[in-house]
Amino acid sequence: MSNLTATEASNTFWIDFKKEKQAIEQTIDHSQQVAKSQLPDHFNTILQQINQLEKRITEATTFIPSYDERQYALQIRDLTGLLDTTRTQLTPKPKFSFKTKLGNKQKPKETKPAQGKYTHTDFASLLTLPAWIIVLASKPTDQTPLLENTISFTNLENQVLTLSEHNAPSTTAAVDISLSYLSRCVVWLPTDTMTVSTVHLKQVKDCIIVCGNVQGSILIYGLEDSILTVNCHQFRMHDAKNVDVLMHVSSRPIMEDSSAIRVGSTQDQKSSVSNYFDQMDDFNWLKQQASPHWRVLDSSRAELLGHSLHTLIGLEQLDLLSHHQ
């Protein structure tokens, strides 16, 4: 779009967005004709389509007006809501299980899920569980081009989730991470074997999420009672409540329809790039006064979280992360 003016690029994007949105809506409407056994893969494919459309919006923020950006975000939220409603109607009692497309690869040994419910103070015990409790993400096969270079965790609870060199993509391209419908999980994404381009979060509750370095953006739709740390270029948060966020973000972060958000700076970020963690734009608060929906973490709390999250796996003091302010 380098040869187009900002207005022309914005108009072209609007036309493309409208077509893709309508295609996704039609796919969701077609869900009733899909066999029940195929619904999990069907819904996951739709989720990835929404994620990709959401990513395109983020990439287009250099030329689309702020008002249009918000309207696009609202339409993404409506799409996600339509998907959630349809999923609930057709699968009213979903079982928490980890689905993966393995193609012709040998099916891994089935993991036994952790038993019982964990409270916030039980996160330390999660990291002392036997190795078979830890769930590793799987990369979809090349038979599903839409999902290529996307690693997905979905419909899981009471799990420790991490990446592995065994599911690194066959190409050198960066991967997208999708975290959806997670409850009481510890997610550890930093790895030396992969570069993360984008992280998508949808409907995540009671989780600790350590993203590490993300080349592009983190996009959040539904996050509650959780702790998140990330180094990224763009930060977008929608429908979040009671969340501690440690971040290094090189552009002004954005939040909408969110409350009780506490932000701090990551402690291990040595980049010379400016950190806008404390300059959150709240789309629900356009007044001159500071937004009541977010605030900066106390320095002692931010330092404690920064140290604990930096050395998350294996630390007994992980339970300290549970004491939300």
Whole-angstrom Cα distance, residue 212 to residue 225? 20
Read off the pLDDT of each residue in 206-225 and give the average, rounded to a whole number.
91
Q: Where are the alpha helices (DSSP H) in the chain?
A: 6-29, 39-59, 66-90, 123-126, 299-310
Burial environment of residue 151 by CB neighbours within 10 A (0 to 12, 13 to 18, 19 or more): buried
Residue range 34-51, pLDDT digits in tens: 998 899 889 989 988 998
| 3-class secondary-structure state, position 211 | strand
| pTM confidence score | 0.63
Count Cβ atoms below 10 Å from residue 40 Cβ, excluding itself.
17
Residue range 70-116, pLDDT digits in tens: 788 888 888 988 998 898 888 865 444 444 433 444 443 333 333 33
279 against 136, higher pLDDT: 279
Q: What are phi and psi of 281, to 5 degrees?
A: -95, 115
**Percentage, residues of the chain above pLDDT 90:** 28
pLDDT at 168: 57
Token output for 222: 């539904």
pLDDT-based confidence at residue 309 (cuts at 50, 70, 90): low
Read off the pLDDT of each residue in 23-39 and give the average, rounded to a whole number.
92
In 3-state terms the chain splits into helix, strand, coil percentages (rounded to 5) of 35, 30, 35
Please, what is the average pLDDT of the chain?
A: 76
pLDDT at 182: 93
pLDDT at 243: 95
307 against 324, higher pLDDT: 307
Q: Which of 152-166, 246-260, 311-325 has the lowest mean pLDDT?
A: 311-325
What DSSP line would sit under 257-318, residue for residue?
Answer: S-EEEEEEE-SS---SS---TT--EETT--SSSPPTTEEEPPHHHHHHHHHHHHT-TT-GGG
pLDDT at 91: 81
Nearest to 249 by CA among 58, 54, 80: 58
Place of tokens 């928490």: 96
Domains belonging to the chain, first-starting first, are: 6-90 (1.20.58.1250), 120-322 (2.160.20.70)
Name the amino acid, one letter, at 35: A
